[in-house]
Amino acid sequence: MTSFDSQLHPSPPSTAQRPPQLSSRQRRRSSHGDRKEIVGLMPAPELDNNIRLIDPKRDALYNYDPEGQKAAAAARPWARDPNYFKHVRISAVALIKMTMHARSGGDLEVMGLMQGYINDDTFVVTDAFRLPVEGTETRVNAQGEANEYLVEYLDLCRAQGRQENVVGWYHSHPGYGCWLSGIDVETEALQQQFQDPFLAVVIDPDRTINAGKVEIGAFRTYPSSHMSETPSSDVASAAAAAASDGAQAVPLAKAAEFGAHANRYYSLEVSHFKSTLDSHLLELLWHKYWVQTLSQSPLLTNRDFGSKQMLDLSSKIKEATTAFARTRTSQNLLLSTFTGSVGGGGGKVADRAVEKLAQDSNLIATKEKSGLMAGEIKAKLFNDLGRREL
């Protein structure tokens, strides 16, 4: 849930102004340990994250065509079709940068911008860079130094031959999934109004580490003159169904806002790509950090997030128990007044709530069991090596 003002139309920085340095806290959180943690997922980018090699001879997706971009901007096909953009392709470098930045923020939201271009109905993101701002789960405050940083960074990129423009912004949702809050929707709508085509990307760093796969979502908002074809009631029920999925279970504190603005935006399909140089560098990093990946325990890596999940589940169970008792009392009153004419709506709602709680509970238990089994397997595999040799 992020807000920023005048990020893409800032006033020019003062003479000899340098991009501000990250705070000591950010430097500590972005240290060697976080890099190993993210790069430890390198087998996953190859398989789980579906990163594919592009043309090994030309690396065509990195060839920026300024004339083609001007022609697309003049035609503006997205102005006639609010659902024109359907796909997002993110480079491996940009994906790692955004994930490491999101992870470095801890429980605070962080924010950055993405560079790239459009290709028909697809956003192609070639790079990303962080902004020196951070905030709580409700708001990120973008200071004047972020505006100066943005202008200086883009000037330096163009001086080095990188002509790609800013095509979107990203921010993190630590622990509560990939979706847009009310503030996020307003922010994205404002940028689309003045800077279209523009894209919003959300990354959940906690679930990324927990699942071993980057948890990411890409979204665009509808203009104020257009409403989603899906009725609000259907959107709310769809959001509730998504919340019951383990991958998108929303904490109780965020449940009221999750889905409240779902009819104002839509999601895009996200895929990833890498150049031949990216492939070589990622392979070198994997050879460097494979020991870290093999030795780390998911129970220790995810213990904070796991504790939050259990605490949130207990709160949901308590709330569901209270609601179920209230529903049962009202049904008894109806039975005593109108014999045999009780509707089953309240019971069905309670049953669905119990089913969702059971799914969330099973998901947490499965993750914990997997962590214990991984520890047992590694202990038997490596602790017995010396004994077998003897």
- pLDDT one-digit tens code per residue, 267-301: 899 988 888 777 778 788 777 777 777 777 777 77
CA distance 86 to 107: 31
CA distance 118 to 103: 28
Query: Quick one: tokens of 289?
Result: 């950090």
Query: Quick one: tokens of 286?
Result: 């994997």
Low-confidence stretches of the chain (pLDDT < 70) are 1-59, 134-143, 227-257, 259, 326-351, 353, 384-390
Which residues are bridge partners to 47 per DSSP?
Answer: none
Is 109 strand, coil or helix? strand
CB atoms under 10 Å from CB of 135, counted, come to: 19
Query: Quick one: tokens of 17?
Result: 């102004």
Which residues are bridge partners to 124 per DSSP?
Answer: 89, 117
pLDDT at residue 121, as a whole number: 87
Assessment of whether the complete model's pTM goes beyond 0.85: no
Name every residue whose Cβ is closer than 8 Å to that of residue 101 and which is 6 or more positions away in sequence.
30, 110, 112, 128, 130, 172
C-alpha gyration radius of the chain: 24
Could you tell me if 105 and 94 are in contact, meaning their C-beta atoms sit under 8 angstroms apart?
Answer: no
In this structure, the strands spanning 122-135 and 109-119 are antiparallel
pLDDT at residue 227, as a whole number: 61
pLDDT at residue 199, as a whole number: 92
Max CA separation in the chain (angstroms): 83
CB atoms under 10 Å from CB of 119, counted, come to: 15
pLDDT at residue 304, as a whole number: 74
pLDDT at residue 341, as a whole number: 45
Burial, 145: exposed, middle or buried (Cβ in 10 Å; 0-12, 13-18, 19+)? middle
Name every residue whose Cβ is closer than 8 Å to that of residue 207 and which is 6 or more positions away in sequence.
175, 177, 215, 247, 305
pLDDT in tens, 165-179: 889 999 888 887 888
pLDDT at residue 348, as a whole number: 65
Is 16 strand, coil or helix? coil
pLDDT at residue 20, as a whole number: 46
pLDDT at residue 247, as a whole number: 41
pLDDT at residue 213, as a whole number: 81
Is 252 strand, coil or helix? helix
pLDDT at residue 220, as a whole number: 92
Could you tell me if 183 and 3 are in contact, meaning their C-beta atoms sit under 8 angstroms apart?
Answer: yes
